[in-house]
């Protein structure tokens, strides 16, 4: 191959894609691209395509053929010379004259090409996800066929198993944090800490998202709006008392850990029911 008549490969690829819908071209050499385009054009009936697609295709061939030695064309399955290729393309040229309706035909043909491209992308994406599913299925069931529903049930079982082992560890971590905090508290303050956890648990049980968000934001200066908010205010009062010994960050860490355990238990319960 002579290297090479100066041409823009990106332009050639773009022309062939628009004229022949060649989607998988990225990793092809010049020769492979030319051979694939040649095979495709012999299957095409340009009568059903607009004239500008024929012109795009011919321009692409002219540019690409300039980069290939003529005496190698026959090895690609093409005619012996560049001119023979172009002469063959000329025989495929649309011969009917354009009439007023051809404007509509051109527009529809352009839309058709766009739809074909989108469809190809969708098919490629579907194949990608199918391949991933098969790989996951093989990991879970290496020796037997598995439907999607069976796989989903197995993933659910594994998640339940994970949560069942994870929750006790989280509770143990929280207990250790509580014991460490209690070592710094007087007896009366320990009762206040226990009351803090009871109030916080009650708020979590009400599933009031706004209250939980306010707790996470550590907002102790909110105005009471309803009965549920009174629990939030009381909890903030308890935090304020304990802040004389424990920092707000330490208290919030304890409450966040309790919230994490609550959410894990809730998730586990949802999976089991």
* Residue 33 belongs to some domain of the structure: yes
* Interval 184-199: pLDDT, tens: 888 888 899 999 999 9
* Residue 174 belongs to some domain of the structure: yes
Please tell me whether residues 75 and 169 are part of one structural domain: no
Residue that the structure tokens 């994970």 belong to = 162
Number of structural domains found in the chain: 2
The residue range of the domain holding 74 is 9-91
Residue after which a domain boundary falls, among 52, 67, 91: 91
Please tell me whether residues 163 and 72 are part of one structural domain: no
Please tell me whether residues 63 and 170 are part of one structural domain: no
Mean pLDDT of the chain: 75
* Residue 16 belongs to some domain of the structure: yes
Residue after which a domain boundary falls, among 70, 91, 112: 91
* Interval 137-187: pLDDT, tens: 676 666 555 566 777 787 888 888 899 989 999 999 999 999 998 888 888
C-beta separation of 219 from 211 below 8 A: no
* Interval 232-260: pLDDT, tens: 888 888 888 888 888 889 999 999 999 99
* Residue 141 belongs to some domain of the structure: no
Please tell me whether residues 76 and 152 are part of one structural domain: no
Give me the mean pLDDT over the 100-106 stretch. 54
* Residue 124 belongs to some domain of the structure: no
In angstroms, the CA 59 to CA 263 distance is 63
* Residue 105 belongs to some domain of the structure: no
Where does the pLDDT of residue 23 fall: very low under 50, low under 70, confident under 90, or very high at 90 and above?
A: low
pTM score: 0.44
In angstroms, the CA 120 to CA 87 distance is 31
* Residue 97 belongs to some domain of the structure: no
Where does the pLDDT of residue 92 fall: very low under 50, low under 70, confident under 90, or very high at 90 and above?
A: confident
* Residue 260 belongs to some domain of the structure: yes
Nearest to 98 by CA among 44, 68, 54: 54
Please tell me whether residues 53 and 166 are part of one structural domain: no
């Amino acid at each position: 191959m002579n290297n090479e008549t100066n041409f823009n490969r990106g332009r050639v690829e773009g022309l062939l894609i628009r004229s022949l819908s060649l989607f998988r071209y990225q990793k092809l050499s010049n020769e492979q691209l030319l051979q694939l385009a040649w095979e495709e054009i012999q299957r095409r009936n340009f009568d059903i395509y607009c004239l500008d697609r024929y012109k795009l295709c011919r321009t692409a061939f002219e540019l690409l053929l300039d980069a290939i030695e003529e005496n190698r064309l026959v090895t690609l399955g093409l005619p012996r010379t560049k001119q023979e290729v172009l002469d063959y393309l000329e025989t495929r040229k649309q011969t009917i004259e354009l009439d007023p309706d051809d404007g509509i035909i051109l527009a529809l043909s352009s839309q058709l090409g766009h739809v074909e491209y989108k469809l190809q992308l969708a098919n490629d994406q579907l194949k990608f996800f199918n391949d991933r599913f098969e790989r996951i299925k093989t990991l879970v069931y290496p020796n037997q066929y598995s439907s999607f529903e069976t796989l989903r049930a197995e993933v659910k079982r594994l998640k339940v198993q994970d949560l069942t082992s994870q929750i006790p560890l989280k509770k143990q971590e929280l207990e250790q944090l509580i014991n460490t905090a209690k070592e710094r508290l007087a007896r009366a303050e320990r009762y206040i800490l226990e009351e803090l956890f009871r109030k916080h648990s009650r708020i979590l049980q009400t599933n009031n998202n706004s209250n939980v968000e306010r707790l996470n934001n550590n907002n102790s200066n909110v105005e009471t709006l309803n009965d549920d908010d009174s629990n939030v205010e009381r909890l903030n009062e308890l935090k304020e008392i304990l802040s004389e010994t424990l920092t707000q960050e330490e208290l919030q860490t304890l409450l966040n850990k309790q919230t994490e355990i609550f959410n894990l238990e809730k998730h586990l319960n949802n999976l089991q029911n």
